[in-house]
Amino acid sequence: MIVIGELINGMYKDVGRAIANKETDIIQHLAADQVKAGATVLDVNTGPYSKDPKDDMKWLVESIQKVTNVSLALDSTKADVIEEGLKLVKKRAIINSTNADEAKMATIFSLARKYNAQVIGLAMDKSGVPNSKDRRIELAATIIAKAMEYEMDADDLFLDPIVLPVNVAQNQGLEILESIREFRHLCEPAPQTTIGLSNVSQGTQFRSLINRTFLVMAIASGLTSAIVDPLDKELMDAMITAELVLNKNIYCDSFLDAYRKK
Ligand code: THG
């Protein structure tokens, strides 16, 4: 599993404040802690309240890269904010994200080609997030076709079915899990898949329990990466154990420690 740490996101009130006040040490601790906990990529999102998202993205990328050398997932709906990050990254980045709209895909896949980045493709378009797995698959296929036009390798594309909160969209869980399974069969080599896991538990009680239960089910459906809170130790233990049971790691009595040492 590619573990994308979600915590550097201005959506979190304290992180939003740290961004507004340019508190470098808070961001750098969040970066270092997530990597120590097993994140191999860090999501970077200036958040909804940023007054100057381009400048904030630049500052975030520079601050993070002073303390870690992992890849960054540049998370913004604005292509110029993403490009600000792409100009600075030392490792190959993931663009988070495009959707299936023609104009958006053209902009994002051009950027991906220019900067040799990987891309997350959201299975949604102008009319929003679909309700059915069939429509999600159609939109995913549209994104794959466009990625091919831009000569991207399929395995540099991460398809995201878009996870919705279980308290308001309870019938979507199964549609999402089935989408993950089917996305993998859309082309050869198979595209990667990802989800914003914490979306599933927004506004609920027992967030951690809901997150880890859904993550295990998604891994069993073939998920290859996820945007998660890596500081949730029980979540990470469940992920490692799911991969063990699926024969992706070799069993030993200390398999949790063995995974973490790797
Ligand atoms: N797909 C892709 N990228 C994404 C998402 C996705 N990026 C953003 C998001 N979804 C994934 N990251 C988060 C980060 C935080 C939360 C959920 C998803 C979260 N935040 C608390 C909340 O809203 O309750 C904030 C609480 C606070 O203020 O402290 O749950 O789906 N490609």
As a whole number of angstroms, the distance between CA 214 and CA 220 comes to 10
Would the pLDDT of 11 be above 90? yes
Summarize the confidence of residues 95-112 as an average pLDDT.
98
Going from the Cα of 234 to the center of ligand 1, the distance in angstroms, rounded, reads 18
CATH number for 103: 3.20.20.20
Summarize the confidence of residues 140-151 as an average pLDDT.
98
Nearest residue by C-alpha to atom 23 in ligand 1: 202
pLDDT of residue 262: 85
3-state DSSP percent of the chain in helix, strand and coil, to 5:
50, 15, 35
Is the shortest distance between the CB of 167 and ligand 1 below 6 Å?
Answer: no
Nearest residue by C-alpha to atom 11 in ligand 1: 196
Using a pLDDT cut of 90, give the percent of the chain over it: 100
Going from the Cα of 24 to the center of ligand 1, the distance in angstroms, rounded, reads 21
Q: For residue 66, what pLDDT band results from cuts at 50, 70 and 90?
A: very high
Q: How far apart are the first and last CA of the chain?
A: 13
Q: For residue 167, what pLDDT band results from cuts at 50, 70 and 90?
A: very high
Under DSSP, the state recorded for 191 is P
Is the shortest distance between the CB of 204 and ligand 1 below 6 Å?
Answer: no
Q: State both tokens at 3.
A: 């573990």
Would the pLDDT of 50 be above 90? yes
pLDDT of residue 210: 98
Using a pLDDT cut of 70, give the percent of the chain over it: 100
* Contacts of 159 by beta carbon, 8 Å cutoff, 6+ apart: 120, 121, 123, 140, 143, 144, 183, 186, 191, 192, 193, 194
Going from the Cα of 12 to the center of ligand 1, the distance in angstroms, rounded, reads 8
Going from the Cα of 252 to the center of ligand 1, the distance in angstroms, rounded, reads 34
Residues forming a β-bridge with 158: 120, 192
Would the pLDDT of 28 be above 90? yes
In degrees to the nearest 10, what's the CA dihedral of 99, 169, 223, 141?
A: -40
Average pLDDT, the chain: 97
pLDDT of residue 232: 98
Q: For residue 182, what pLDDT band results from cuts at 50, 70 and 90?
A: very high
> In the chain, how many domains are there?
1
Would the pLDDT of 140 be above 90? yes
Q: For residue 58, what pLDDT band results from cuts at 50, 70 and 90?
A: very high
Is the shortest distance between the CB of 97 and ligand 1 below 6 Å?
Answer: yes
Summarize the confidence of residues 81-94 as an average pLDDT.
98
Residue 19 phi, psi (nearest 5): -70, -45
Would the pLDDT of 155 be above 90? yes
Summarize the confidence of residues 236-251 as an average pLDDT.
96
Q: How far is CA 220 from the centre of its chain?
A: 18
Summarize the confidence of residues 235-248 as an average pLDDT.
97
Residue numbers of the domain that contains 43: 2-261
Is the shortest distance between the CB of 11 and ligand 1 below 6 Å?
Answer: yes
Summarize the confidence of residues 46-55 as an average pLDDT.
96
Nearest 5°: the CA angle 206, 231, 61 is 125
Specify the amino acid at residue 210.
I
